[in-house]
Structure 1
Amino acid sequence: MAYSTLRVDRLDRGVVWVDIDNPPANAISDALVDDLDALLLELEGDKSARVIVLASAHPKNFVAGADLKMMTQNASKYAGQGGAIRDAASRMQRVFDRVAKFPRPVIAAIHGHALGGGCELALACDFRIMSGGTIGLTEVSLGLIPGAGGTQRMTALLGRAKATELIFFAKRLTKEEAETIGLVTKAVEPDRLREEVLAFAESLSERAVFAMGLAKQAIDAAIPLEGGLRVEAENFERTFSTGEPLEGIAAFLQKRPAKFLKDTAAKA
């Protein structure tokens, strides 16, 4: 099957290498979400696909997160349609959850920035190997919250205290910082990323990958996710009623610091 935003290579030992290719910035779009959904459906039934690698064709970004211009346009379009933004977030959650629940190992090969939604996609993978750029859930700097599973998966991975710190301060971590706290599995040199990821993937593929899938299912049963994802999607929509995303996204697009205090100062 052909995909407009993905390049799929079937390599030795059952490794499937997927380059995300959604120019100009590898932003998460409806087309990319649809392609990921269709690819995962295809590979779930293909037992020759033993390990999946999600990588990037962009020189600077793993995945850039949601298209902010499209997000603001959609917010205006959906104004007065209760639940529309929530439903859009839920759609992304479902596809990323499909990555997380894929019945064999999934590796994120990160060579550039993985911020916001890009970090959320990486968090949905079983392993993250990173060679450059920064990683983090940066949505609060825009007046938003992570809406594609990030609040849930970062908390499960790192614990409440560290997740709260990283999300509230919209921290961008280097590969070394991320490795130190366990956000990424391994930090590697840029010129060794493909080599290191392939070695890691092949090592997994030689093992009992179907048992790994069953183990993943059992591990997931210890951390119920559905209720948290529902609250996350609802609260993602509620951020638009605060007015903060209008300032945060405008500041980002204009390359200036956001001024969330300005309304408070004006009323003081």
Structure 2
Amino acid sequence: MTYQLLTIERRRYGVTWIIVDNSPANAIGEELMQELEAAVDDLAADSAVRVVVVASSNPKIFLAGADLKGMVMQSGNLADEENFIAKKSARMQACFQRFASMPKPVIAAINGYALGGGCELALACDFRLMGNGKIGLTEVSLGLIPGAGGTQRLTQIVGRAKAMELIFLAKKLTAEEAVENGLIHRSVDPTNFEAEVTAFAEELAKGAVHAMGLAKQSINAVDKGLEQGLQVEAQAFADTFLTDEPSIGLAAFFQKQAANFIQE
């Protein structure tokens, strides 16, 4: 597929970058969501892709939120279309869920502001590394609430009490503050941002990424309850043997060597 708002960069060890370029502020609209979904589908199906990094071409903004002005102006359509705004919210939720469900590790490379919808997309990724900017779910300051999965994912990640504090007070956190609050995984030196993100992505890419995808599937099943979650885990464990990763890993273990999961 030819992308207008994204650049796909395939780098070594199967690390692939999705770079968003939707000037001026990387606002999340229908066209961008369609391209993000197409990119997820393409990269998920590509066996050469081992790790995905979501980044921005804008040095100051990771992603902005939805086009709220347009949504408010269009809300007059409520008379003609039931639950118009709820459907818009569900549309963004479905787009971001594609990243949460992608059977490969996904890293949000946040080197700029990630407020509202930008934070919600980052929360849908498996790892969040951040340099410059601030991050947070700030919708309550506008009389709104997070509507693209933020209330659910932030609560899962930082816990109910902290999620209430961050959402109710519309906190905007620096990278260091976000680490302290458990919102991101690492605060990265902005002057060496891409290199540090690349090093982390390559560390993942050299591992058993198929097993990581199955572990991700099992972790995502936590919400289904313990009994069903255990069933998902058992099947995922069995599915690891459908790849050559167990034979590679076990052979290396018995030979007291580092496993090489990247087969040329």
| Structure 1 residues 213-252: aligned runs within 5 Å | 213-224=213-224
CA distance in structure 2 between the aligned counterparts of 1:102 and 1:24, rounded to whole angstroms: 28
Residue of structure 2 in register with 1:193 after alignment: 193
**Is residue 54–residue 106 contact of structure 1 (8 Å, CA) maintained in 2?**
yes
2:144 is aligned with 1:158: no
CA distance in structure 2 between the aligned counterparts of 1:129 and 1:224, rounded to whole angstroms: 28
Residue of structure 2 in register with 1:61 after alignment: 61
Unaligned stretches of 5+ residues in structure 2 = 226-264
Unaligned stretches of 5+ residues in structure 1 = 226-268
**2:170 counterpart SS class:** coil
CA distance in structure 1 between the aligned counterparts of 2:210 and 2:105, rounded to whole angstroms: 9
Residue of structure 1 in register with 2:26 after alignment: 26
User: How far is the alpha carbon of 1:41 from its aligned partner?
Assistant: 1.0
Deviates more, 1:71-80 or 1:61-70: 71-80
Residue of structure 2 in register with 1:202 after alignment: 202
User: How far is the alpha carbon of 1:68 from its aligned partner?
Assistant: 2.2
Residue of structure 1 in register with 2:4 after alignment: 4
2:82 is aligned with 1:90: no
State how many pairs are aligned: 225
Residue of structure 1 in register with 2:106 after alignment: 106
CA distance in structure 2 between the aligned counterparts of 1:207 and 1:121, rounded to whole angstroms: 25
**Is residue 4–residue 31 contact of structure 1 (8 Å, CA) maintained in 2?**
no
Larger Rg: 2
Deviation per CA, 1:72-125, whole angstroms, max 9, x where unpaired? Answer: 222223345322211111111111011011101000000100000000000000
Residue of structure 1 in register with 2:14 after alignment: 14
CA distance in structure 1 between the aligned counterparts of 2:79 and 2:5, rounded to whole angstroms: 29
CA distance in structure 2 between the aligned counterparts of 1:169 and 1:79, rounded to whole angstroms: 33
- RCO comparison, higher one (Cα < 8 Å, 6+): 1
**Is residue 140–residue 167 contact of structure 2 (8 Å, CA) maintained in 1?**
yes
**Is residue 107–residue 128 contact of structure 1 (8 Å, CA) maintained in 2?**
yes
CA distance in structure 2 between the aligned counterparts of 1:30 and 1:224, rounded to whole angstroms: 30
Deviation per CA, 1:169-212, whole angstroms, max 9, x where unpaired? Answer: 11000100001121111101111110000000000000001101
RMSD, aligned CA: 1.2
**1:22 counterpart SS class:** coil
**Is residue 129–residue 188 contact of structure 2 (8 Å, CA) maintained in 1?**
yes
CA distance in structure 1 between the aligned counterparts of 2:114 and 2:173, rounded to whole angstroms: 10
CA distance in structure 2 between the aligned counterparts of 1:104 and 1:223, rounded to whole angstroms: 20
CA distance in structure 2 between the aligned counterparts of 1:59 and 1:71, rounded to whole angstroms: 27
Deviation per CA, 1:5-31, whole angstroms, max 9, x where unpaired? Answer: 111100010011111100111111111
**1:222 counterpart SS class:** helix
2:124 is aligned with 1:131: no
Residue of structure 2 in register with 1:254 after alignment: none
Moved over 4 A (4+): none
For residue 153 of structure 1, what is the amino acid of its counterpart?
A: R
Q: Percent identity?
A: 56
CA distance in structure 1 between the aligned counterparts of 2:214 and 2:5, rounded to whole angstroms: 30
Residue of structure 1 in register with 2:258 after alignment: none
CA distance in structure 2 between the aligned counterparts of 1:174 and 1:55, rounded to whole angstroms: 18
For residue 97 of structure 2, what is the amino acid of its counterpart?
A: D
